[in-house]
């Protein structure tokens, strides 16, 4: 992978932070956008803008074709069996809310169990808490080992016929842990549970094939994978879609409406009420094409190498503790760490003064940080435009922060 060439596609990476070059290591929060994506969005608004699925004029047909083409591109990227299994949403959060409310409210009842890991992002936790309250179902948590790993025996202990859905991140946004979704899905299906995968931290970084994984739902955001903000995807296996109630109602999602009632359109329209973010879907499609040109295997290999380098370097910094798997292959492209003497926000602030952007805090996984007894961690997260020199600057900045503040 030619990082130098790739970097040229990202205008923002030329930015200076004070006197320093920007070193962007906050990709788990959002990625930067290449000109190819920016241009695709611009092209839509300059040359094709119209509402979709409602006009018979040329522009509306062009916009509709481009929107449906984006759906097909995403379906192929995920290895979905049918484009109709792809619902465009506002992002992973809305996708997970949709799975929870459209499937959960219809299919869960008192006595049922919802099984999650302790490291779920609030977006794959809070919607299920609400659905549990609505339906009387109970939440249960799979604990992790010391390095943020899921022990299959521990997982199996939690599976029973009462478990109706397993809600798990493909990759943790704090530990980085990559779960064996295929095996976990196989075991969940064996007790009759469906599996909802939060792919926010995996779709951008790891080759994904939903048919091979076997999962029933898979959610992600475009903005973490070179695409625009405000658009995301919920993949749902076709056979589940009929047995789900929409959670938003209005134009675009109906087949018949009378004064008293309405009939729903077929999926995916059933779940896409109102005018969608057409330019967003087109931007996502451009992002997918950009990633496919590099190859997701290459993206993954690159990030494993960056993980390896970061772990080696940070391990040699006295006072820094890394959380999550020590094996770089077992994590997605991110490394979280902390110091017992210097607060994570202070480390991040010193890093920022050298132009290095990282995230610090609880990363929207408060229950996990409470369980670990760590208030906050610093997280460096990578993408295709990062290289070893970025990590050298990170490590230099961390050393500087510890020297100044401990
Ligand atoms: N799930 C996971 C695992 C995430 O990491 C995030 C965002 C979401 C869901 C929600 O995605 P959204 O696009 O709908 O907001 N995670 C982070 C993060 O780690 N730092 O900022 C956002």
Ligand 1 pocket test: pick from 24, 98, 123, 168 the residue with the most ligand atoms within 8 Å of its Cβ.
123
Query: In this predicted structure, what is the pLDDT of residue 173?
Result: 96
In the chain the domains, ranked by start, together with CATH numbers, are 3-31+296-405 (3.90.1150.10), 38-292 (3.40.640.10)
Each residue of 282-336: pLDDT tens digit?
Answer: 999 999 999 999 999 999 999 999 999 999 999 999 999 999 999 999 999 999 9
**135 pLDDT more than 90:** yes
* Segment 355-360 mean pLDDT: 97
HSE value, Cβ hemisphere, 13 Å, CA-based, for 9: 20
| β-bridge partners, 207 | none
112 pLDDT tier (thresholds 50, 70, 90): very high
Query: In this predicted structure, what is the pLDDT of residue 55?
Result: 76
Of all protein residues, whose CA lies closest to atom 20 belonging to ligand 1? 29
Q: Is the CB of 277 under 6 A from ligand 1?
A: no
Which helix (H) or strand (E) segment is 7 a member of? helix 3-8
* Segment 248-263 mean pLDDT: 94
What three-state secondary structure class fits 194?
Answer: strand
Of all protein residues, whose CA lies closest to atom 7 belonging to ligand 1? 29
Query: In this predicted structure, what is the pLDDT of residue 24?
Result: 98
> At CB < 8 A and 24+ separation, what contacts does 97-101 make?
97/123, 97/127, 97/247, 98/234, 98/247, 98/271, 99/127, 99/196, 99/217, 99/219, 99/234, 99/236, 100/127, 100/128, 100/130, 100/131, 101/127, 101/131, 101/245, 101/247
What three-state secondary structure class fits 312?
Answer: helix
Each residue of 369-394: pLDDT tens digit?
Answer: 888 888 899 999 999 999 999 999 99
HSE value, Cβ hemisphere, 13 Å, CA-based, for 374: 27
| Nearest-angstrom CA–CA distance, 12 and 24 | 10
Of all protein residues, whose CA lies closest to atom 15 belonging to ligand 1? 93
Query: In this predicted structure, what is the pLDDT of residue 331?
Result: 97
Query: In this predicted structure, what is the pLDDT of residue 362?
Result: 85
Q: Which of 389, 403, 396, 406 is nearest to 23 (CA)?
A: 389
Each residue of 168-220: pLDDT tens digit?
Answer: 999 999 999 999 999 999 999 999 999 999 999 999 999 999 999 999 999 99
Query: In this predicted structure, what is the pLDDT of residue 374?
Result: 86
Query: In this predicted structure, what is the pLDDT of residue 367?
Result: 83
Ligand 1 pocket test: pick from 173, 208, 232, 380 the residue with the most ligand atoms within 8 Å of its Cβ.
173
* Segment 399-403 mean pLDDT: 96
Q: Which residues participate in catalysis according to the annotation?
A: 364
Query: In this predicted structure, what is the pLDDT of residue 105?
Result: 94
Is pTM, for the whole model, over 0.85?
yes
Which helix (H) or strand (E) segment is 46 a member of? none
* Segment 120-140 mean pLDDT: 97
| Nearest-angstrom CA–CA distance, 381 and 390 | 11
**268 pLDDT more than 80:** yes
Q: Is the CB of 31 under 6 A from ligand 1?
A: no
Q: Are 74 and 86 in contact (CB under 8 A)?
A: yes
Q: Are 131 and 100 in contact (CB under 8 A)?
A: yes
Each residue of 70-82: pLDDT tens digit?
Answer: 999 999 999 999 9
Instruction: Check residue 224 and report its DSSP letter.
Output: G
CA 224 / ligand 1 centre spacing (Å): 8
Strands 194-198 and 163-169 turn out to be: parallel
Q: Which of 157, 177, 179, 176 is nearest to 167 (CA)?
A: 179
Q: State how far the alpha carbon of 135 is from the alpha carbons of 28, 62, 106, 110, in Å.
A: 33, 43, 9, 6
What three-state secondary structure class fits 318?
Answer: coil
| Nearest-angstrom CA–CA distance, 317 and 326 | 15
């Amino acid at each position: 992978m030619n990082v130098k060439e790739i970097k040229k596609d990202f205008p923002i990476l030329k930015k200076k932070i004070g006197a320093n070059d920007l070193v962007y290591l906050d990709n788990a929060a959002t990625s930067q956008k290449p000109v190819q994506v920016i241009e695709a969005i611009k092209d839509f608004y300059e040359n094709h803008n119209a509402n979709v699925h409602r006009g018979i004029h040329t522009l509306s047909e062009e916009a509709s074709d481009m929107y449906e083409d984006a759906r097909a591109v995403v379906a192929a990227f995920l290895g979905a069996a049918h484009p109709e299994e792809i619902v465009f949403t506002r992002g992973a959060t809305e996708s997970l809310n949709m799975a929870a409310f459209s499937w959960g409210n219809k299919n869960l009842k008192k006595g049922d169990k919802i099984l999650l890991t302790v490291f779920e992002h609030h977006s794959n936790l809070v919607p299920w808490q609400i659905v549990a309250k609505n339906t009387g179902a109970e939440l249960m948590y799979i604990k992790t080992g010391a390095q943020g790993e899921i022990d299959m025996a521990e997982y199996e202990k939690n599976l029973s016929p009462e478990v109706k859905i397993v809600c798990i991140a493909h990759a943790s946004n704090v530990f980085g842990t990559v779960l064996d979704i295929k095996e976990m899905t196989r075991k969940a299906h064996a007790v009759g549970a469906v599996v909802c995968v939060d792919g926010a931290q995996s779709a951008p970084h790891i080759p994904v094939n939903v048919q091979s994984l076997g999962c029933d739902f898979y959610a992600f955001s475009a903005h973490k994978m070179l695409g625009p903000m405000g658009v995301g995807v919920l993949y749902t296996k076709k056979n589940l879609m009929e047995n789900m109630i929409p959670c938003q109602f209005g134009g675009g999602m109906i087949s018949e409406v009378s004064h008293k009632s309405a009939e729903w359109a077929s999926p995916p329209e059933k779940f896409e009420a109102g005018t969608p973010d057409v330019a967003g879907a087109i931007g996502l499609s451009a992002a997918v094409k950009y990633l496919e040109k590099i190859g997701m295997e290459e993206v993954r290999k690159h990030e494993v190498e960056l993980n390896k380098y970061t772990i080696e370097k940070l391990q040699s910094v006295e006072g820094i503790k890394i959380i999550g798997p020590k094996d770089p292959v077992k994590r997605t492209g991110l490394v979280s760490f902390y110091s017992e003497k210097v607060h994570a926000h202070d480390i991040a602030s010193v890093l920022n003064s050298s132009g290095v952007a990282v995230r610090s805090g609880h990363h929207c996984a408060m229950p996990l940080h409470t369980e670990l007894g760590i208030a906050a961690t610093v997280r460096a997260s990578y993408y295709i435009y990062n290289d070893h020199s970025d990590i050298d600057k990170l490590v230099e900045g961390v050393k500087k922060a510890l020297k100044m503040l401990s």
